[in-house]
Amino acid sequence: MAQALVLEKKGELSLREIALPSELGPNDVRIAIHTVGICGSDVHYYTHGAIGPFVVREPMVLGHEASGTITEIGSNVRSLKVGDRVCMEPGIPDPQSRATLMGQYNVDPAVRFWATPPIHGCLTPSVVHPAAFTFKLPDNVSFAEGAMIEPLAVGVHASVKAAIKPGDICLVTGCGPIGIMTALAALASGAGQVFITDLAPAKLAIAGQYDGIRPINVRDEKPRDVVDATCGSDWGVDVVFEASGFAGAYDDALACVRPGGTIVFVGMPIQKVPFDIVAAQAKEIRMETVFRYANVYDRAIRLISAGKIDLKPLVSETFPFDQGIAAFERAAEARPSDVKLQIVL
Ligand SMILES: [Zn+2]
């Protein structure tokens, strides 16, 4: 039995003992969890009890954005040792699946992802995880930053999919944690300028602290007008990252992308959204989608360690584990000035 932050059912959390698998296989490591970030998905399971086809039917431990310290290694593990500070990639695919063999293990239908029903998450003092999905943190990367590699990996994966070129001008629609991290990943990947849109001034102000990011409040300015001033009225941005999942943003994405440019769909709308295919065809744009990430954790860690991305301003507040439920209530308030709330064990 282990203490854990458990989503009993929609709207009901508890901090209690629960039986969790703890057997250490030969290719696994055991990790004492240090910091866990609260993700929008954790909050959505708490407030709605489901995300699409994933429905909370049994009590489930929440949390998938984690860092910690290795306390034990399996007999085959050579890449990591006891005492290493690490962060973990929360999705474990079937190593033999066709998707995994293609390198796209993130879309393996059999992937087991922390805190996605029925798989337990990591808001518990100790977890067992495959060494292959556990990454050593350099000394200059903190546990707080380590626990933000997971959302940053989404942005890095989106930049890989975008095939950013030096000096690209980008637009990110949506200034949530993933939107901001996508903008930072694009800049670190060589983008020369990144616009980011939202309705909430507090969110835009946080993004606007970073050199190279130009916030656009869509209540005050039309994204296309702002883009025109930089790119010319007959052109547009090289890459749009749609990171809001908000129906209205798809028209902005199409209006702002240049002919022959790229739209990367990062945000997940809760319902089907209308999308103007002909507008996309008329500019012959390239469209890419991302589902979580694959093969970018090491790159994301390196960008932090090298000082190319500073995530520290994005930690809004840190809660002790015994205040974990209060942390989730705060997250459910969705204060516009909160980017990332974290729980320290
Ligand atoms: Zn997350």
pLDDT band at 212 (very low <50, low <70, confident <90, very high): very high
Ligand 1 center–CA 327 separation, angstroms: 15
Partners of 17 in beta bridges: 3
Ligand 1 center–CA 150 separation, angstroms: 6
Ligand 1 center–CA 77 separation, angstroms: 27
Ligand 1 center–CA 32 separation, angstroms: 19
**Protein residues with C-beta less than 5 angstroms from the ion ligand 1:** 39, 65
Share of the chain above pLDDT 70, in %: 100
End-to-end, the C-alpha distance of the chain in Å comes to 17
Residue extent(s) of CATH 3.40.50.720 domains in the chain = 155-289
Are 119 and 64 within 8 A, CB to CB? Answer: no
CATH class of 155-289: alpha beta
At residue 270, does pLDDT exceed 90? no
pLDDT at position 2 is 93
pLDDT at position 249 is 96
Ligand 1 center–CA 292 separation, angstroms: 9
Average pLDDT in the 77-82 region? Answer: 97
Residue extent(s) of CATH 3.90.180.10 domains in the chain = 2-148+311-344
Ligand 1 center–CA 252 separation, angstroms: 25
pTM comes to 0.97
Average pLDDT in the 128-148 region? Answer: 98
> 3-class SS at 89?
coil
pLDDT band at 52 (very low <50, low <70, confident <90, very high): confident
Ligand 1 center–CA 294 separation, angstroms: 14
Q: Which residue blocks in the chain are alpha helix, DSSP H? A: 40-48, 98-101, 143-146, 149-162, 177-188, 201-208, 223-231, 249-256, 277-282, 297-305, 324-333
Are 17 and 328 within 8 A, CB to CB? Answer: no
Share of the chain above pLDDT 90, in %: 97
Ligand 1 center–CA 40 separation, angstroms: 7
**Options 3.30.1360.70, 2.40.290.10, 3.20.20.140, 3.90.180.10; which CATH number does 2-148+311-344 get?**
3.90.180.10
> For 118-132, what is each residue's pLDDT tens digit?
999 999 999 999 999
